[in-house]
Structure 1
Amino acid sequence: MGWLQSLLCPLKKLWDHLHSAQTKRRGVYILYKDVKSCPCEDVHTLWSILVDPGDAE
């Protein structure tokens, strides 16, 4: 029965990793839509700094 556990454990870790990555992307996309719909220019400036800090220099 140990071989079954050793087979399923990495698959469960992979599933958890993929699921958490998908949730993070969805959260960032929702935040992006909120920023995009905001009329305040300061919010857009801060978003651009967060997304690409190299442009802020």
Structure 2
Amino acid sequence: MGWLRSLLSPVKKLWLRLHTTPKKRRGIYILYEDVKSCPCEDVHVLWSILVESHPPPLPWKQ
């Protein structure tokens, strides 16, 4: 029965990935809309520095 489980495991992962709702982005990127709507130029400069100093988020894994 181990061979059957090893055969169905990738199919199950694919099924779950296609049929689950993706999680919202976390971290500093949830503030993006607030920063974008702010009229202060200093906030935009600080945001660009902050974004450049952080690596891009990793793709979501199960």
TM-score by length of 2: 0.41
Higher helix share: 1
TM-score by length of 1: 0.44
